[in-house]
Structure 1
């Protein structure tokens, strides 16, 4: 594998590379580099920005200066060096593309949505009489509808092919509707309302909830998005509380 790295130079410089890594192996020293990346700052300003004590700040700055990542000018003004700037940029690039960043993001989301505080509320448990059955399928809608039907005791009367035929989904292949194509399939095209309506041919009344909003990133959520989500969960909860299956 050709990785364009000069391995000989790396082996010859292991000690120096290790020292450089140790120089930035502290959150406060990284913070100092970021602060100095914007502009030159004096000791008192850095003291205020980092909330460090004078002795601790002096040690961190000394570590960075020893490794030529920060330089001290007259009157106690500090500035990031070219080496410090390039190292910080390289670290940022590596972190953006790293698996650890993705894992940290997933952990943050799990923590955000799993640690829910319930205050002055009595915990209740609703039991759905018809246990859902997972159906593996390439087409999620057909698999979900089949799972609902089987939970209703129709496993002997109907299969995935029948669901596709009765709902009309099978006839939307290859996901083309009046000249339009979309990787999302019929769910994104004008034929979708007809498929939902035709699903009723399976012998059950189908109620459809439609929301034309998008799906923003967690960090971009607005109050309007949160209200939409709460309303949707309320609809789902109401249906489940009334012992009705939800797709």
Structure 2
């Protein structure tokens, strides 16, 4: 272990520090540059846990391949990391020393700052209470910090981020494919937390657990559904949930997935600070600074949900779980898990989408979530295509490979059509000033009809792959 190679060193005198600085300005500057980048710090953090493949770093950092190569070269030039094997990297003893030193220094600075705040507040104890509430004394952050992953599905982004932090190298694509989420097609507005039936969620949970981790799920219906703010009984439940999650973090030192952060979506809770959650959300993907979320600032429509993972003892056979994921994909893509009385699912969902465009009513088109659906399904078709392509390569010498590849191509064709759709109908935040002309609507309808036909092709390919799959 690297820890055993680190020996305690005597403190340097001021003269010694000054001498080293004066002789090594450029070298020290280069070293500081190496750790000044958030992405390079993230690389060091990942490698601190264990050696990682290039593909793992690329998927979890959400950066371009050339950018990652640049960061890795920089860190290797400074001897902070090294190649363990082709395409696989590990942290060096020097890198371990550097990351340990800056972490300890940062921690000491935080502690000193908190002590200073306490001294000031204790000295002037007549200050109003709201000044005192900002003190930061009760804080805990998990060791295996989880980063929200890239993608339009907040459930998959949160789950894949936590699995990565737990040492499971399966990325956003694999988690989405295994859980089946990327194969779902609905006509919904993508607004309510109950867009999926209980049976659909149960199947998604089964797929999520197929990596060998047990999901410990807590749910409760809201007393005041449809009201954003937590009031009365809901406020009390929110506080109770906060205390439960704090206990999970204290007892298990593991991140938690929570619904209701920055809108009615899932996010990762990595710790707590006084009465607030310390989270990782889509802000991380956008390069924005995360902000603590008070326990009563959750935005929920009709239910409270949180869950965390513990390691399963049962043996997981990847090929068995991969085959199950294809069965799950077929059922989700056909809409087998949904009540037709509530909404349309499967390929027929495109017909309702087309009907909305045919209406020509701008408000109805926007309220239906037209641009949001376009972006969401562009992402899901891309993910479905990539997942099936991976499986076709894994089982290249098996009879199902050909049909997996065919289904992958059908989803890729659908994605390419939806790419054009998202240009004509951008995200809802940009739609208020868009001119929804008859020509655009006609083109949109043509695209959706093609997407529907590719969806049907893909389902047929999935069915053939499952029938040919021998296990």
Same fold (TM over 0.5): no
* Structure with higher strand content: 2
**Higher gyration radius (CA):** 1
